[in-house]
Each structure stands twice: as structure tokens, then as C-alpha cells.
Amino acid sequence: MKELSSLQIERLKYQPKLPESLAGGINNLELVEGNKTECVKDTEQIKELFSNIYGKPIVTFKKTPEKIIPEKSNVGVILSGGQAPGGHNVIAGLYDALKQANPQNKLYGFLGGPSGIIEGNYIEFTDEKIDDYRNTGGFDIIGSGRTKLETEEQFQKALKVCKELDITGIVIIGGDDSNTNAALLAEWFVKNNAGIQVIGCPKTIDGDLKNDQIEISFGFDTATKTYAELIGNILRDANSAKKYWHFIKLMGRSATHVGLEVALQTQPNITLISEEVEEKKMSLKQIVDYIAQIVAKRADLGKNFGVALIPEGLIEFIPEIKSMISNLNDVLAVLENDSAYKSADENTKFNIIENKLNNEDSSVFASLPTMIKQQLLMDRDPHGNVQVSKIETEKLLIEMVSHKLEEMKNEGNFKGKFSAQCHFFGYEGRCAFPTNFDADYCYSLGYNAFALLKFGLTGYLSSVKNLSAPALEWVAGGVPLTMMMNMEKRHGQFKPVIKKALVELNGPVFKELEKNREVWAMEDKYIYPGAIQYFGPSSICDITTETLRLENAAKLTAV
Ligand code: FBP
């Protein structure tokens, strides 16, 4: 019986590249401090909430011939939130740096996400364990979870567990919410003289943890290439059979970075961008009309087929639905403790909700198909978000476009056929073998995280910049987590959070789609990217995303 595939065997041997500054070894580093930093906005509140870690400088590392041997230290690592390709390499980079610094050092992995540190569930990493996971996708090395680390009680428990293991540094690998919690924990540890540092690492396939300092979160590169391969295959199938419209929902909880990137890689007929829908205040009806018009025009050209990309978070960006969901959340929070509601059958539940919502929201809710109503009533995630991955927006749109086309047919405005297939690509990409880019980037982030700990820093996000250049030219360092924060309303209260990066409609990436989409709608300019390549010419194996390329080109033109 085979235990590993040939690709698995070869990938385990891949040696990730490090930036030049780190490649000289973990004990040959010098810390370079930049200027003090400020947060995004709401300075006074953020300063007060993070009085111990606020405003630290951005730092970078330089190679030095001098050996700086650190004291022995134990570190704990947590994987938090949704899987993203490369997580295992962050841990491998962290482990290698820690053992290189001092072979006596220990790395503990907390099991099942942030709850592991509270409950004291952990493993100690060994060479064998790490070697089995190098360059692999997934988070299965220690598992992940979505528990929010934010209460005094949780912090006390985490402190106790760390003290038992003599841990002086924690690395939290997560998205915007998890890194917000990393900042809270870092602040609490300093305030309580715990002697424990906290460093975050930017993870999420959604690509929305980015800003002037963080070019991209890890996992985005691999996930978008995986979806682009699948969509390329579907485009070719659509163009071969010429009988189906494929509606493809793509992951990305809020922002449409994934959809936009994949659209630029494959050039489908329709790409919806949630941020544009919100900006133009488009109603669900307008979205349906937009799609139906393109279907009808293509049918006039004899093309009863096509591909439409639908962002996972779309529903929450349609103003009328956004408002309804926000009020629905409040209504559900009250009904949570209402035994009559809880024991009611589905239709009664819908009626109760319709009566509690205001007129406008009530009619929006009532207008939705049962399937969508059911999905909107499902449990929220631990951060209070509607679980958009469970809402079948692609099916909703197919149903509504179909009705619209029937109407148009009756009026003599649609003479074609509309037969649709739906797909949802999300989980397919989150645990793929990391591309060379993600393998290198993640390894560097992990290695760099230990460098930040070694210099006594806390409340920082591990950062590796200049990512459009070859890995040797990447710039390793750290960005204070408070620099990315502002106050936002969560669960009805203002809280400090890392600002989520949505698609900028004035940015170069969206502009590229906007410039081309009318042509892509009618003419079939499909691109078939094929599978990710791990071995072969660098021009195929090391290419980054269109997003990174276009954003970098825009930065260079601006200079
Ligand atoms: P993170 O923000 O934690 O990286 O997770 C993002 C994501 O992959 C979204 O794209 C998606 O909506 C969500 O996770 C799905 O979550 P789950 O894995 O809990 O179904």
C-alpha cells in the first residue's frame, strides 16, 4: 500500500527560500527600528486600550557577522480560523529558527485553535513531526478553531498554561479578528508583567488582511490559483458544450479579492464585485437585471452559455439585504432566549421574524426564497458573522435570473435558452499544496516571527515585504498590530479591530477588470491557467498573483 503520493514525497524535500537578511542565520541578525507609528483612526481610544503596546516603531532586520546567541526560550504556536495553504510552513520556519537559535529551545503547538491554549491541550514539536508536514497544505498538524481569545478569564487560563510550560513567546497565525485578539493578549501580558510576548502572522485566503505594510496574507496565492485552474476548466467545458451557464460562488467572507483575482486570471463573462454593488447601492433586482441582460445579449449572438463569478459575501453588500441582516441579528439575539420562538415550526418562525422586523426589512426578508431564509437563520460564527459560506447565493441568482428571462421571453426580449449549473469553490482551495510563493512566504513569516521574539518584541505582526521581487530580495521585519487598528461596531458595541481591506474601486486591480469586462462579457476571451506547477521554469512556478503584480506596478508608477 502506498503511504504518500509522488508529489507528497517531492514536496517534503523542497527547501523554502528566505529573504537575504534572514538567510544568514537566526543568530546573525540586527534589528533596525523605524519611526514610531499611529493607528488608522480613533487614536485616543486605541491608545488608551493598548497603552502598553501602542505606537511602537516598524522594524526590519539586517544581517550581521556578529553572533547574537539568545537565552533559551520556549514558544507556543496557535493556528486560528479558516485554513489557508502554507500554515504548516509558518510552523516549520518558526521551528527551524527556534532550534537554530538554541537547540534546547522548545516549540509547543496548541491543539484545535485558540481553545488549545485555554484548555492546556498541546503537543511538543519534534524534528520528525515537522519533517512530515513541510510544504504541505492544511492545518492538520495541530488543527485550528475559531474561539475568540478576549476575556480576562481566558487570558488568566492562557497565562497559567504558559507558565507551566515555561513559554515566553506565543505566535498566533490568523486573520484580522485573530490578530486583533493577539494584540489584546499582548497588551494584557505586558500589563500583568507576565513576561510573555505575542507575535501574529497574516493568514487568510480572503486576502483582506493587507494594508500599506502587509502586501498580502498567506494562502491567497495558492487558493486563487487553485480556483483559477478549476474555473479555467469550467470555461473550457462551457465553451465546448455550449449549453450551460455556470454560476460559481467563490469564497471570501466579505471582500471580493479572491473573485477579482480569479477573474483576472481566467476572464469569465460576468464577475460581480460586492464592494461595487455596495458603492452603487445596487438592489438584488438590479443585479439580476444586469446578469439577465448579458445572458440575453449572448443568446442573440447564438451563445447560450457562459460563466458568472459570484462573491461569497455578496448578500451582505446589497444595501437592502445588509440592513435587513443587521436588524435580523438584533431580532435573533432577543429571540435566542424566547422559548415560544425556539419551539416553533419553520413557517411560524418566519412569521415571528417578519412581525418583529420593520416594514422595509420585513418585506425584504419575506421576498427571499425559503432556502435563503433558512440559511439566514443559521447560527452566527463566534465573531457574530452570518456564515455566508452556507448561503446559496449562486442558487438564489440562478432562480431569479431564470424568472427574469421568462418575463423577457414573454415580452419578446429573450430568444435563447437558459440552463444553469451552480458551483461553490472555497474548501477546494484552502488546503491545497502551497505554491512555491506561499511555501517560501510562509516559511519566511514563521522564521521571522521567531526573530521578532528574539529581540523582545510583542504586539507585532510578522511582515515580509517586497513580495513581487525574488525571495532573496524580500524585506523581513515587523509591524505593530496597533498600527492597523480602529474602532468598529461589533455585537452592538464599539471594539478595537484590525481594519479589513476591501477591494478598492479606485485601485489598479478593480480598474483592470472594469476596463475589460464588457469585452469579456460578449467575446470569449477565456484564459485556462492550468494546474499549479511546483517544479520547472521559474516563469511558471514562481509567478505571483495579478493582484500583487498590478498593485506593485501602481506603487512604482506613483513613486
Ligand atoms: P479566515 O478569515 O479565518 O481565514 O476564514 C475565511 C474563510 O475561508 C472564508 O472565506 C469563509 O467564509 C469562511 O472561512 C468559512 O468558514 P468555515 O471554515 O468555518 O466554514
Q: How does pLDDT run across 508-524, given as a tens digit for each residue?
A: 999 999 999 999 999 99
Residue 449's pLDDT is: 98
**Ligand 1 center from residue 220 Cα (angstroms):** 12
How much is the pLDDT for 384? 66
**Using a 6 Å cutoff on CB, does residue 206 contact ligand 1?**
yes
pLDDT for residue 39: 95
Three cell numbers written together for 396: 438564489
Looking up cell 467545458, which residue turns up? 237
Let me know: does 497 contact 487? Beta carbons within 8 Å.
Answer: yes
The pTM score is: 0.94
Instruction: Report the relative pairing of strands 493-498 and 122-124 from DSSP bridges.
Output: unpaired
pLDDT of residue 493: 81
Provide the pLDDT for residue 383: 63
Q: Spell out the domains of the chain, with CATH numbers in brackets.
A: 17-219+434-490 (3.40.50.450), 220-430+507-553 (3.40.50.460)
Q: Could you tell which of 83, 176, 205, 431 is best to mutate to test the pocket of ligand 1, judged by most ligand atoms within 8 Å of the CB?
A: 205
Q: What is the pLDDT of residue 330?
A: 84
Residue tagged active-site, from 96, 177, 206, 221: 206
Q: What is the pLDDT of residue 69?
A: 81
The CA distance from 188 to 158, in Å, is 11
Residue at 314: amino acid letter = L
230-257 as b/e, with b when 16 or more CB fall inside 10 Å? bbbebbeebeeeeebbbbbbbbbbbbbb
End-to-end CA distance of the chain: 58
- Whether 205 is in the pocket of ligand 1, judged by its Cβ within 6 Å, is yes
Residue whose CB lies within 8 A of the most ligand 1 atoms, among 251, 262, 316, 383, for a mutation test: 251
Is residue 388 lining ligand 1, measured as CB closer than 6 Å?
yes
pLDDT of residue 223: 98
Is the beta carbon of 81 within 6 A of some atom in ligand 1?
Answer: yes
The H or E element that residue 248 is part of is strand 245-250
Distance of CA 287 to CAs 295, 310, 396, 419, Å? 13, 11, 12, 19
> Which residue has the CA at smallest separation from atom 14 of ligand 1?
82
**How far is the C-alpha of 556 from the C-alpha of 546, rounded, in Å?**
15
Q: Which residue ranges of the chain lie beneath pLDDT 70?
A: 382-384, 492
Give the residue from 375, 361, 355 showing the smallest Cα distance to 327: 361
206 is catalytic: yes
Q: What are phi and psi of 275, to 5 degrees?
A: -60, -35
Number of Cβ atoms within 10 Å of the Cβ of 29:
23
Give the phi and the psi of residue 488 in degrees, each rounded to 5: -140, 155
Other Cβ atoms within 10 Å of 290 Cβ, number = 15
**CB-ligand 1 contact for 224 (6 Å cutoff):** no
| Substitution site in 389, 391, 425 for ligand 1 pocket (most atoms within 8 Å of beta carbon) | 389
Coil, strand or helix: which one is 289? helix
- 3-state SS class at 421: strand
Nearest CA to ligand 1 atom 20: 389
